[in-house]
Amino acid sequence: MARVLVTGGAGFIGSHLCEYLLGRGYDVFALDDLSTGSLTNIAHLRSHPHFVFTQGSVLSRRQMNETMRGVDIVYHLAASVGVKLVVEQLVASIENNVHGTEAVLAAAADARVPVLLTSTSEVYGRGDREIFSEDGDLAMGPTQRGRWSYACSKALDEYLAFAYHLEQDLPVTVVRLFNTVGERQSSHYGMVLPTFVRQALSGQPLTIYGDGQQSRCFCHVSDVVTALVGLMEHAGANGEVYNIGSTESVTMEQLADRVLALTGSRSQKVLVPYDQAYLAGFDDIRRRVPDISKIKALLGWQPTLGLDEIITRVRDDIAASVVQTPV
């Protein structure tokens, strides 16, 4: 079977992707610097005969060149993630995303290895469309506002990937993920669903940023990794960009209400102004819903898990981790 490299393989999505690939018979090599990933995420994979983990950074050109040898496919997930982390570490986030992707693409081009690049719905920026399609224009905010640096860095990653595709004929597929959630996702970097669930289970107030009326769509990680692998196993995905996400939209206040209902919590809801949660002048997008017709036409893919089932799984996972953690 093919040998696969997963950068960011000890992260939330990366660990699920490694698990799924092993289940399909791939030999999996995971690379992660453990800055936001965790060995706990891949503990159950370490004894698998077809899984190899290496602690290292995509920022190292030498390590990327060495790691790329003998690999057939690369899933590039390593990146700075989470709004909280990005706004607190602007320089590091830009450098990690841009220079890391540059190193991965250069090594892949030298070795002639196809690359799947994970991008983000953030690249759509401040657009006010009802539904975001892959061929739509991108509308970034002012450069003085660091909140947009993440979106711009990921957009530059996309441009760089397609530049390699056009100039060096490197097989490249880009995906834009819309709020992927599920088991093993950390709440440390501002991820809203595990944050709400942890607050509800511990009886703390659920902190809703802004007025709570901004809406998002949440897709379970198992559906996402199925889409990622499906794209790399389909020749028609080469040179294309695809949205991956759910189309079930919910406001943050509605999400909090559903978390409270499904956890049986009596916690209160508290609105926190953006200026207190992040930085002065923080921008947010009121609505972000993906058009997934393109990937559906190619693969027949669409999410299989609804929001209530996702919340229930996250609840059970967090509750189990709390029980297992010694006081």
Q: Annotated active-site positions, please? A: 150
> Cα separations (Å) of 22 from 26, 43, 101?
5, 14, 24
How many Å apart are CA 320 and CA 316, to the nearest integer? 6
Residues β-bridged to residue 241 = 174
Q: What are the tokens at 282?
A: 């923080």
* DSSP per position, 66-88: HHHTT-SEEEE--S---HHHHHH
The token duo for 168 is 């060096």
Of all helices (H) and strands (E), which one includes residue 144?
none
Picking from 247, 140, 248, 258, the residue whose alpha carbon sits closest to that of residue 208 is: 258
- Taking CA atoms, 95 is separated from 61, 112, 193, 231, 250, in Å, by 14, 25, 27, 28, 33
34/54 Cα distance (integer angstroms): 10
Q: Alpha-carbon distance 295 to 276, whole Å?
A: 38
Concatenated DSSP letters for 14-36? Answer: HHHHHHHHHHTT-EEEEEE--SS
Identity of the amino acid at 95: E
Q: If you search the block for the tokens 């030498």, which residue do you land on? A: 62
Concatenated DSSP letters for 218-238? -EEHHHHHHHHHHHHT-GGGT
Coil vs helix vs strand at 294: helix
Written in H, E and C, the secondary structure of 175-196 is EEECCEECCCCCCCCCCHHHHH
Tell me the residue type at 113: V
Amino acid letter for position 106: A
